Structure 1
Amino acid sequence: MKPKATVPADFALEEFLPYRLSVAANRTSRLFARRYSEEFGLSIPEWRVLAVVGRFGGLSASAVVERTAMDKVKVSRAVRALLARGLLAREGDAEDRRVQRLAMTAEGRAVHARILPLARGLEAELLAGTSVADRAALHRLLDALDRRLTEMGAGPGAEGPD
């Protein structure tokens, strides 16, 4: 007996943009994670936190949440794990004593520096066979989607599942 369709026949999930973006992002993250998790022992959220702190430095955990669009709980767990491993350290904010900023330790910087070539290599592999014009168009479209998401209330810091 054939299962009954639960959605209208004119709705093709595999063509629905939010679904496609989610699947592509999840597959990309898992592929990259396989490349760094074994050698460096980092989870996907831990790598994202390390990457953001490495790029922007001196961020509070809430600023990491905004920049990564990850759930606060995932960021908190990742920060705790990175602090425990000595890859991140907390520093007080000179202007606001209530704020704790995250900074990479020397070991954190070393791990970050070793992972970056893997990240760049994966990006090159993903984009192999695409033209410079297609890459530029992809970046323009992603920027446009990001602007539109912000206009719709789903910008940086918006709550929701990640």
Structure 2
Amino acid sequence: MPESDSRLSDFMPYRMAITSNAVSSLISGEYRSEFGLKIPEWRVMAVLGDAGSLTQRDLVRATVMDKVAVNRACKVLEERDLIQRSPNEMDGRSHHLELTNAGLELHGKIWPQAVSIYEKIFTAISPREQAKLRLILDKLLKAARELEGDEK
């Protein structure tokens, strides 16, 4: 590959993606082997555990996952009785999804493990750097969502 200023290793979206995948894979290794959940299933559970009842469209936006991946994850979680659907009074075409009691219990077991691994990883940067990283990530997500809105 010829040398240039646009090498993949210097391409920030690529570096963000591989870093995110490495962190997600490390955390997911724990809950996959112990609880039988894949990354999309845990992301749906984590968002519902944090936000409460949401529609599938809300989950797609919150997780920034493809709607097919969210749909598959929801089906698996429903089959395992970890989430339940209820009618959406505001829109008869959609449903609200929320964790069941079993889902809440499982979330309560996984969340502390995820936080523990996160804390171990993030000792690599100072609390000040963590705060700065959060701010930068928020700005980048906002910019991406604004551009996404421009393209629709």
Gaps of 5+ in 1: none
Count of residue correspondences: 152
Change in CA separation of 1:17 and 1:154 when aligned onto 2, cut-off 3 Å: farther
Q: Provide the rounded CA distance (Å) in 2 between the counterparts of 1:124 and 1:138.
A: 15
C-alpha distance in structure 1 between counterparts of 2:27 and 2:85, whole Å: 27
Give the aligned partner of residue 67 of structure 2. Answer: 72
Provide the TM-score with structure 2 as the length reference.
0.92
Match of 1:9 among 4, 8, 31: 4
Note if 1:149 corresponds to 2:144: yes
TM-score (norm 1): 0.87
d(CA) in 2 for partners of 1:152 and 1:94?
Answer: 31
- 2 CA distance for matches of 1:144 and 1:97? 35
State the distance in 2 between where 1:30 and 1:110 align.
22
Pick the structure with greater CA Rg: 1
| Gap regions ≥5 residues in structure 2 | none
Superposition deviation, residue 144 in structure 1: 1.4
Q: Percent same amino acid at aligned positions?
A: 36
- Structure holding more helix per residue: 2
Shift in alpha-carbon separation, 1:44–1:154, aligned structure 2, 3 A: farther
Deviation at 1:37, TM superposition (A): 0.5
What is the alpha-carbon root mean square deviation over aligned residues? Answer: 1.9
2:21 maps to 26
